[in-house]
């Protein structure tokens, strides 16, 4: 929309690279085609740096489109851009579109395999692309992709000279941060964006329960929210509440200072717009309150005016691979979350590992290993690593599990108080707060230092 899409002038080539399905065992000898995008318009050969986006759980072209920062700095750094797709997502499907059916194949969907894919791809590019042999490579990623870029530098310091891990919750694992912080931040975003906004959302859960206790009430809600599928019973009302909760969380992630289309097309500062419909005082009736909630939800689902009904089975773009991510959450990426209804605006719900594990077992036939991510990636004991920037937005609930303080001189945290989810990786915009401009400038400064260090050590 508007300014940012005019700037989407991408000159990349889309390529495929044959890669091992299993890097860590020798019984499975198959390969699959991994997709990556390459843009070398500004690349200074020989030896110019490579900015390498470590793809996350979705279509890589979508992440590429939402990572304008790399496009904007390519020229000043004389850098080549590479965006590598994560296995099992987008078009990088080892076993074709059927691959989600059997968990035998999903067995190879792990972050360790994905990092090994990236490492092998870079080694190959360096040995086959003329002029790339001595190019320093910097990993860049946001969200889960940011976790991967940080871990990539930790596990393969021989391959990348540094990493920018934007909005990367590398500590959102069992025993590392309090499970309630995530939803506390969501709540703070609503509390600061309008009168009584958080209080009315907190109240809405009970109002939904009240209204949904009769068939007439369920029908009223179905019509008021323009739902595609009617609510028929208590179970549907439960699913409806989950969907609303996820809607508020997504809004907190994409509370950007300008009109944008990341998870959905949205106005600038969307939570402020949402909160305009929720500024009731405490005497409001259940029905009035829920009418406000429906108008608020439609800011998220119908900003463009093109939606004919609201679908409670989806909350975001189809470019994300939900099933694949769910599998990863059910194996390595165990991220405890909880609510208490007091410090947050949600219904109280404890973190229950056993219940989660049982659900995973029913769906995928596997059980999560709660402590594995901490064991394999170091948890909070990462001081021995170097050259990683962790940037976090103060509005972003994922900052709860992020690195928000400086660990050492070269494990640096950059805070962006007015930033939502990886705002720094997006295209610059006239409405950008000064904190994100400063963050980007500092990030480029570190990139230059790492590149200089790398050149020095390769010539000495």
Ligand X SMILES: *[C@@H]1O[C@H](CO)[C@@H](O)[C@H](O)[C@H]1NC(C)=O
Task: Return residues touching ligand X (CB under 6 A).
Answer: 8, 10, 59, 61-62, 65, 203, 206-207, 210, 226, 228, 286, 298, 302, 305, 307-311, 313-314, 319, 405-406, 412-415, 442
Distance between CA atoms of 321 and 338, rounded to whole angstroms? 24
Closest separation between CB of residue 114 and ligand X, Å? Answer: 19
Residue 308 or 384 with smaller CB distance to ligand X: 308
Asked if 421 is an active-site residue, the reply is yes
Asked if 92 is an active-site residue, the reply is no
Catalytic residue among 86, 385, 421, 422: 421
Residue 22 or 224 with smaller CB distance to ligand X: 224
Residue 87 or 203 with smaller CB distance to ligand X: 203
Angle at which helices 286-301 and 234-253 cross, to 10°: 50
Strand 260-261 vs strand 265-266: parallel, antiparallel, or unpaired? antiparallel
Residue 135 or 204 with smaller CB distance to ligand X: 204
Residue 116 CB coordination number (10 Å): 20
Residue 59 or 255 with smaller CB distance to ligand X: 59
Distance between CA atoms of 136 and 133, rounded to whole angstroms? 9
Asked if 384 is an active-site residue, the reply is no
b (16+ CB within 10 A) / e for 84-110: bbbbbbbebbbbeeebbeeeebbebbb
Catalytic residue among 111, 135, 143, 386: 143
Q: Would you list the DSSP string of 291-321?
A: HHHHHHHHHHH-TTS--SSB-TT--S-TTB-
**Count of positions (residues) in the chain:** 460
Distance between CA atoms of 88 and 94, rounded to whole angstroms? 6
Place of tokens 């690593």: 385
Closest separation between CB of residue 354 and ligand X, Å? Answer: 28
Residue 187 or 294 with smaller CB distance to ligand X: 294
Closest separation between CB of residue 243 and ligand X, Å? Answer: 11
Closest separation between CB of residue 323 and ligand X, Å? Answer: 11
Angle ∠(350,346,233) on CA atoms, nearest 5: 90
Closest separation between CB of residue 294 and ligand X, Å? Answer: 8
Residue (of 389, 442, 378, 436) closest to 411 by Cα position: 389
- Cβ atoms of 373 and 334 within 8 Å: the answer is yes
Catalytic residue among 59, 396, 424, 432: 396
Closest separation between CB of residue 239 and ligand X, Å? Answer: 12
Active site residues: 143, 396, 421
């Amino acid at each position: 929309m508007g300014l940012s899409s005019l700037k989407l002038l991408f000159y990349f080539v889309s390529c495929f690279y044959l890669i091992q399905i299993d890097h860590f065992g020798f019984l499975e000898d198959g390969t699959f085609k991994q997709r990556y995008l390459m843009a070398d318009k500004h690349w200074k050969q020989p030896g110019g740096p490579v900015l390498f986006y470590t793809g996350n759980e979705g279509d890589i072209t979508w992440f590429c489109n939402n990572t304008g920062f790399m496009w904007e700095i390519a020229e000043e750094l004389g850098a080549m851009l590479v965006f590598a797709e994560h296995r099992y997502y987008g078009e990088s499907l080892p076993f074709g579109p059927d691959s989600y059916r059997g968990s035998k194949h999903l067995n190879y969907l792990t972050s360790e395999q994905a990092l090994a894919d990236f490492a092998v791809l870079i080694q190959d590019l360096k040995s086959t692309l003329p002029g790339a042999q001595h190019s320093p490579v910097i990993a860049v990623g946001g969200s889960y992709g940011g976790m991967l870029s940080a871990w990539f530098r930790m596990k393969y310091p021989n391959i990348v000279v540094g990493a920018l891990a934007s909005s990367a919750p590398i500590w959102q694992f069992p025993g590392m941060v309090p499970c309630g912080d995530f939803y506390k931040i969501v709540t703070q975003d609503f509390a600061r964006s309008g009168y009584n906004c958080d209080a009315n959302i907190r109240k809405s859960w009970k109002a939904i329960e009240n209204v949904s206790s009769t068939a007439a009430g369920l029908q009223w809600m179905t019509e008021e929210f323009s739902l595609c599928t009617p609510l028929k019973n208590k179970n549907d009302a439960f699913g409806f509440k989950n969907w609303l909760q996820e809607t508020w969380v997504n809004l907190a992630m994409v509370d950007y200072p300008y009109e944008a289309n990341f998870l959905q097309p949205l106005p600038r500062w969307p939570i402020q717009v949402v909160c305009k419909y929720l500024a009731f005082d405490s005497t409001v009736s259940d029905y009035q309150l829920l009418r406000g909630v429906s108008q608020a939800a439609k800011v998220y689902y119908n900003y463009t005016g093109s939606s004919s009904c609201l679908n409670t089975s989806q909350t975001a773009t189809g470019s994300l691979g939900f099933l694949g991510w769910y599998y990863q959450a059910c194996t390595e990426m165990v991220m405890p979350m909880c609510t208490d209804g007091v410090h947050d605006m949600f219904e109280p719900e404890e973190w229950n590992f056993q219940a989660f594990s049982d659900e995973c077992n029913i769906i995928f036939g596997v059980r999560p290993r709660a402590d594995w991510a901490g064991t394999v990636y170091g948890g909070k004991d990462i001081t021995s690593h170097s050259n990683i920037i962790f940037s976090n937005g103060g509005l972003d609930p994922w900052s709860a599990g992020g690195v928000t303080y400086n660990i050492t001189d070269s494990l640096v945290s950059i805070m962006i108080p007015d930033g939502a989810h990886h705002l720094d990786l997006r295209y610059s915009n006239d409405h950008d707060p000064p904190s994100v401009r400063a963050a980007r400038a500092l990030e480029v400064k570190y990139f230059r230092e790492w590149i200089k260090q790398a050149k020095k050590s390769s010539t000495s």
